[in-house]
Amino acid sequence: MEQYKKEFIEFMIDCNVLKFGDFVTKSGRNTPFFVNTGFYRTGAQLKKLGVYYAKAIEAKFGFDFDVLFGPAYKGIPLSVAAAIAISEDYGKDIKYCANRKEVKDHGDTGILLGSPIEDGDKVVIIEDVTTAGTSIQETLPIVKAQGDVDVLGLVVSVDRMERGQGTKSALEEIRENYGLETTAIVTMQEVVEHLYNKPYKGKVIIDDTLKASIDAYYEQYGVQ
């Protein structure tokens, strides 16, 4: 596993973004782990997060695209942070764009924030995490409505590696249904591999009991 992935897993724990316990996901699944990017709360944290996203984007897509699109609301700071990191670390000036939840009819009108999306633009969508792949159904039509654009793919922070609407993984379904390439900074398999029975800051985060809960979750919701 690449070093930046190990660092990112520990970064999520330090920021209280990756939690273990008893949670319910947006798709209604009871889960022993939860990723909440709303807990990236400081300038230093967001700057670091942008760097990790930039590494994942470079590895999968390179930087031959025009717009980084972050769906409202959590995708907005993600698109900004990653666009800044791409500019600072790679010297590539990518436009950021996000949507509003409601169309604005005065002043800066329309549904978009940041850069407009224009015919011929290549777009990468940036999100926090995908569980069942439902959010892309809302996001893609917004982007496509802006013109003749080429949506290259989707980058998320964590691939939860579970089924979407059918028997395949959510990211695999997105690839098949929408023709999008997908990638993540880390997968849950990598998270478990890095943390299982290994102390971090003097504490074992995934012990045998928690590992059994995670395994049981994947028995139910994992890809068969």
Domains and CATH numbers, the chain: 3-221 (3.40.50.2020)
Would you list which residues are annotated within the binding site? 26, 73-74, 100-101, 104, 106, 127-135, 160
* Rounded Cα gap, residues 215 and 219, in angstroms: 6
Contact 111, 118 (CB under 8 A): no
| Cis, bond preceding 4 (omega within 30 deg of 0) | no
The pTM score is 0.92
Which residues, in sequence order, are CB contacts of 104 under 8 Å at separation 6+?
A: 110, 111
Catalytic residue set: 104, 106
Would you list which residues are annotated within the binding site for 5-phospho-alpha-D-ribose 1-diphosphate? 26, 73-74, 100-101, 104, 106, 127-135
Residue ranges in the chain modelled with pLDDT below 70: 103-109, 131-133, 224
Q: What pLDDT is stored for residue 168 in this prediction?
A: 86
Q: What pLDDT is stored for residue 104 in this prediction?
A: 58
Q: Which of 132, 124, 142 is nearest to 177 (CA)?
A: 132
Q: What pLDDT is stored for residue 135 in this prediction?
A: 80
Would you list which residues are annotated within the binding site for orotate? 131, 160
The terminus-to-terminus CA distance of the chain in angstroms comes to 24
Q: What pLDDT is stored for residue 15 in this prediction?
A: 97
